[in-house]
Amino acid sequence: MEDRNLTQAYEHAKEVYGGLGVDVEKAMALADGIAISMHSWQGDDLIGFDGSQELSGGIASTGNYIGRARTLPELLADLDEAMGMIPGKLKVSVHACQADLGGKKIGRDAYTVQHFSGWIDWAKERKIGLDFNPTFFSSPQMDGDFSLSSFDDNKRKFWIEHGKRCREIGEAFGRMLGIRSLVNYWMPDGYKDIPADTAARRELMVQSLDEIFSAPMDKTCVAEALESKLFGLGLESYTAASHEFSLGYAITRKKIYTMDAGHFHPTERISAKFSAVLQYLDEILLHVSRGVRWDSDHVVIWDEELQSMMNEIIFNGYPDRVNIGLDFFDASINRIACWVIGTRNTRKALLSAALNPIHLAKDAERRGDYTARLAYLEEAKTLPFSAVWDYYCARQGVPVGTEWIARMKQYEKVVLSTRG
């Protein structure tokens, strides 16, 4: 905070925003306090540590950039490095395949919280929460591309038990860390080509999910979400857990509905859906991602849709009802940079939304003055946001501007390059 130019620019921006009725300090506090759940799988390409050698189930991580985390200590070190360059409140979302099994062969239907003790110790030390994800893919127990909707009773039972164990692990995370854990269920189940029977798989999926969720859980420790998807690689014609299926299940079973920015038709904007589904649900989980022509999980950039999503959250007073998590993985560039770019951009969009004098446009709208509404919305785009962002980063003790790139490159040289 010793940079005089930084402070002067901030004071000017504070005056400009203040003239429009925006309290900059309150805006920074609001954006800073909203938890963003970083996805651990950016660091290991979602391979995990339980014996899987490649991805399956309609997803893929492309590229072979140096430095993929091969062990839990490597992944935790990479997360630490990334988090040191990101401002604001954070959580970390863990996948079941990232269990630390100590070299033992243990089925996912038998995982317990003890297999994630390294994660818990790490999170306790950093005073952050952990979210959790069952891994319904990349396993010989898959029935082709089917898990909870498999016609094979034994395999379906295996995945039901896995789902139950994941609830228990999430509940233990919440209890041990004192921060509620959100367990997100996504199943790839689907067909490459047109199915003859579109109902049978979905009927089995409902039965399986109902069995998984049958035992009561401590809701202060764990919450459960169901994620929808339009299609996946090799699953282009049909997915059992579609948008309508998952939303209907969440509403009727009082679960959280997960909306992934890459899991809808490319012409759809999920930001436009938040205020609709939140008329019927208490909460949703947002997976911030970026699809390019399909659900390609590109690194999140600060584009119009990212800003629109964060605007919807802030403008409608939804910070306590929209849980924000990241979900992308790119193996073609430095994985630390992916985390830093995507998470900083998400926080940047939150701060931009918090600073927006949206009350002026809302007041004009209520008066029926749609000319003024459009004018206010447009003028807000060129307010001196960058000065506030830079000041906020400096205050939080993280790199300002491009300073983080040199730090990332040094970590790559000293640590990542040694992994081959």
Which residue in 14, 39, 229, 243 is the catalytic one?
Answer: 229
What one-letter code names the amino acid at 124? K
Q: Is 295 considered catalytic here? A: yes
d(CA 356, CA 379): 10
Residue 19: HSE in the Cβ half-sphere, 13 Å Cα cutoff: 8
d(CA 158, CA 96): 14
Which residue in 74, 171, 227, 312 is the catalytic one?
Answer: 227
Q: Is 327 considered catalytic here? A: yes
Q: Is 121 considered catalytic here? A: no
Q: Is 227 considered catalytic here? A: yes
d(CA 170, CA 166): 6
Question: Can you read off the two tokens belonging to residue 382?
Answer: 């060129």
Which residue in 131, 297, 305, 330 is the catalytic one?
Answer: 297
Q: Which long-range contacts (CB under 8 A, 24 or more apart) does 13-21 make?
A: 13/383, 13/384, 13/385, 13/387, 13/388, 13/391, 14/388, 16/383, 16/384, 17/355, 17/357, 17/383, 17/384, 17/388, 20/357, 20/360, 20/383, 21/357, 21/359, 21/360
Q: Is 294 considered catalytic here? A: no
Q: Is 260 considered catalytic here? A: yes
Q: Is 369 considered catalytic here? A: no
Nearest to 384, CA basis, from 3, 8, 2, 1: 8
Residue that the structure tokens 């979900």 belong to: 327
Q: Is 127 considered catalytic here? A: no
Q: Is 243 considered catalytic here? A: no
Which residue in 145, 189, 327, 390 is the catalytic one?
Answer: 327
Which residue in 41, 122, 159, 186 is the catalytic one?
Answer: 186
Which residue in 14, 39, 155, 263 is the catalytic one?
Answer: 263
d(CA 232, CA 58): 4
Which residue in 260, 305, 330, 412 is the catalytic one?
Answer: 260
Which residue in 159, 287, 390, 412 is the catalytic one?
Answer: 287
Q: Residues with catalytic annotation?
A: 186, 227, 229, 260, 263, 287, 295, 297, 327
